[in-house]
Amino acid sequence: MGIVQVQVSQGFPISSFALSSVSRASLSAFATPETGLASPTLSAVLIAGQAAAARELMPLLQQALPAEAVSVCASASEGVSQVSAQRLLGRTPGLFVFDLRGAALGELTSQLQLVWRAYPKAEVLVVADVRDSATFAGCLQVTGAPDRLTFILAPLQPRHTIEAVRTVAQRYRLARETERADADERTAIDGLELQIQELRARLDIAKHAARHDDLTGILNRTGFVEELTARLSRDRQPQNVLMIDLDRFKAVNDTLGHGAGDELVRKICMAIAGVIPSGGVLARLGGDEFGVIVEATTDQGVTSLCTQILKVCAQSRLISGHEVQVSASIGIAQQSAASEIELMRQADLALYAAKREGRNRYRLFDAALDKATKYRLSIEGGLERALRSGQFKMVYQPIVNAQDGAVLGYEALVRWDSPEHGAISPAEFIPIAEETGLILDIGDWIARQALKDCRRWNGPYVSINLSVRQFLRHNVAERILRYAADADVPTSRIQIELTETAIIDDVERADHNLKVLRAAGVRVALDDFGTGYSSLVYLNQFAIDCIKIDKSFVDNITRDRQSAMIVASLTKLAYSLGMTVVAEGVETEDQRKVLLATGCGALQGYLFGKPVTSREVSTRLEDQRRD
């Protein structure tokens, strides 16, 4: 029912105005009591100019709205105040019925205006004469809203009047209901919008967390790779990738705890951030590893940045109350046409090269490094196969008495004839085995083989080289002693050779291992002496029997007086500390003479014999015995 129809008494219908804002569906839904929608209790006011009008209309209104508060007033102002009193009781001002028949039109419109201003949402019914078009026009001008202005035509027909009032009241209720539903909907929408906003914020937080590092707040590896990918895909300046790794960071974690390690990482992160040029990116890629992306400037620009980074990393810092100083190594890759993965791989390779070359330095990736790395990888793989398939061989080089050239012992030296690369120097593959850890197994094989061979010679001692990692292994002394027992070689015929780093890297463990070996009667020689930095007096507190003076001194001994004097004073010092001395790498008769003059007791070098197989050692020894 979209149209309110009010019939005039004469019987011809006059249409009031369209219900523009109320849909049919909602109107009918509202009209059905089963819907269970609670009707707002409303108040209706009759503004009657004359008592007769009140008498005629009031019963009709009460009949039309039996459940509502219906009242009658003489004027609009009275009606408005009455309605506002009703509001306090929770009744909404719904209907104003004007019956000012007989009054001047101006009177009607001014009263109407009063009501309309106070309650612009109310429904207004005006009793008017069918011929009174001036009243229609005047009222319409006041309200300006034809959809809430209804005329009841006089003379009044009770049934139609009641119906008109009911319909209008219904329309009013429905409008309020719709209004409330709209408001609810708006609140619901506002709520949803808030939820969406919150979800978005949470998503942003999650995204941020996925790309950033908890400890330092800078980008993590994921964020770094994304950033690098984005930069490479943009058509702009080529990029430089730096991989930075702290040297010996593990020692800080191990000795001061992880809290201190974290603190150090945070501080160093801040320090590096301070020297990265604007537009550059710093990320934490892992424990103590950082990544930097900077636009390629000149080579000089990059290297001076690296120098600065190394400098700030190496500053000494107070961490958990301790003075801590570490250094860093940096690998650099410069963008050619490489993908982000390739760039990072190159920077990584350069970083490992920097570490190998002694740490606290930067290294630029280049094709040679790539080749070297591939070679290295093939050696790494080859070493394991070599051990499994017996490709290693031992050779022995004599150590002789300086006075008469009599053989005192033999140094055991490993050899590897690789199927892929031919003969590879132990100076090359031992450090690789050391890095991969395979040296432990290779070293075991060497020790067992050397001891077995020594058993056959029946006389001279064997001198076995132990690498740093091998020597710092738990129970290394017990191992050697067990192998000696297995091979049935008396400990008096065994010497081990160590470099000073093997002692200095872990003084306590070294001290223990040396004591166990010495107590069992094994001799200990300090290899490559003179190439390190430790003082002999300091080293003497560890159980050492012999120093092997490095070939680099022997090489110069005939050419420059200073080398000869160094060897002479070292030898003297060693003897006064109770150690014996071997000079290595003696190649000429002249060298032998000078060394003899310095007081050196034992010599080793090509002059007395190159390394040979165990079988050859046995043959020579037999020849000597026969002579």
What's the closest the beta carbon of residue 607 comes to ligand C2E, in angstroms? 7
d(CA 179, CA 175) in angstroms, rounded, equals 6
Paired residues of 284 in beta bridges: 290
132 contact choice in ligand C2E, Ca ion, none (CB below 5 to 8 Å, kind-dependent) = none
Token pair for 569: 């004073």
Q: Which helix (H) or strand (E) holds 561?
A: helix 561-576
Residue 423 binding ligand C2E, by CB under 6 A: no
Residue by residue, DSSP assigns 242-294 as EEEEEETHHHHHHHH-HHHHHHHHHHHHHHHHHHSPTT-EEEEEETTEEEEEE
- Binding residues for ligand C2E, rule CB under 6 A, total 20
Q: Is residue 606 a contact point for ligand C2E (CB under 6 A)?
A: yes
The stretch among 30-38, 213-221, 411-419, 591-599 that binds ligand C2E (CB under 6 A) is 411-419
Which of 528, 542, 581, 591 touches ligand C2E (CB under 6 A)? 528
Among 140, 587, 612, 620, binds ligand C2E (CB under 6 A): 587
Q: Closest CB to ligand C2E among 245 and 527? A: 527
How far is CA 353 from each of CA 2, 251, 347, 425, rounded to the nearest angstrom? 88, 21, 10, 19
Decide if 125 contacts 165 (C-beta within 8 A).
Answer: yes
Task: From 466, 411, 464, select the one nearest 584 (Cα to Cα).
Answer: 411
Residue 497 lies near Ca ion (rule: CB under 5 A): yes
DSSP 436-498: HTTHHHHHHHHHHHHHHHHHHH-SSEEEEE--HHHHTSTTHHHHHHHHHHHHT--GGGEEEEE
Q: Is 614 in the site for ligand C2E (CB under 6 A)?
A: no
> Is position 500 an interface residue for Ca ion (rule: CB under 5 A)?
no
Nearer to Ca ion, 150 or 463 (CB): 463
Q: Is 32 in the site for ligand C2E (CB under 6 A)?
A: no
The rounded distance, in Å, linking the Cα atoms of 15 and 12 is 10
Residue with tokens 């103590």: 288
Would you count residue 446 as binding ligand C2E (CB under 6 A)?
yes
User: Closest distance between ligand C2E and the C-beta of residue 549, in Å?
Assistant: 11
Instruction: For residue 126, report the phi and psi dihedrals to the nearest 5 degrees.
Output: -125, 130
Q: Single out the residue of 89, 368, 427, 537 in contact with ligand C2E (rule: CB under 6 A).
A: 427
Judged by CB, which is closer to Ca ion: 130, or 413?
A: 413
Cβ contact 412:465 at 8 Å? yes
Check binding of 589 to ligand C2E (CB under 6 A): no
User: What does the alpha-carbon distance between residue 604 and residue 585 come to, in Å, rounded to a whole number?
Assistant: 6
- Minimum Å distance from CB 464 to Ca ion? 9
- Can residue 555 be called a binding residue for ligand C2E (CB under 6 A)? no
Residue placing its CB nearer to ligand C2E in the complex, 233 or 425: 425
Find the part of the chain contacting ligand C2E (CB under 6 A) among 182-190, 293-301, 331-339, 426-434.
426-434
Q: Which stretch binds ligand C2E (CB under 6 A): 147-155, 204-212, 329-337, 584-592?
A: 584-592
DSSP tag of 34: G
Using CB under 6 A as the criterion, what x/- string covers residues 353-392 for binding ligand C2E? ----------------------------------------
**Is residue 425 a contact residue for ligand C2E (CB under 6 A)?**
yes
Q: How far is the CB of 252 from ligand C2E (least distance, A)?
A: 29
Residue 611 interacts with which of Ca ion, ligand C2E, none, CB < 5 to 8 Å by class = ligand C2E
In the block, residue with structure tokens 């309020």? 176
Q: Residue 480 touches which of Ca ion, ligand C2E, none (CB < 5 to 8 A by kind)?
A: none
Q: Does 467 sit near ligand C2E (CB under 6 A)?
A: yes
Q: Decide whether 329 or 604 has the Cβ nearer to ligand C2E.
A: 604
Q: Does position 603 bind ligand C2E by CB under 6 A?
A: no
426 binds ligand C2E (CB under 6 A): yes
Q: Binding of ligand C2E at residue 605 (CB under 6 A)?
A: yes
**Measuring CA to CA, which residue among 542, 538, 535 is closest to residue 512?**
542
The 3-state secondary structure of 142-205, one letter per residue: HHCCHHHEEEEEECCCHHHHHHHHHHHHHHHHHHHHHHHHHHHHHHHHHHHHHHHHHHHHHHHH
Task: Examine residue 155 and say whether the peptide bond preceding it is cis (omega within 30 degrees of 0).
Answer: yes
Distances (CA, A) of 24 to 169, 474, 593: 16, 92, 125
Interacting residues toward Ca ion by CB under 5 A:
465, 497, 527-528
Interacting residues toward ligand C2E by CB under 6 A:
397, 412-414, 425-427, 430, 446, 465-467, 527-528, 585-587, 605-606, 611
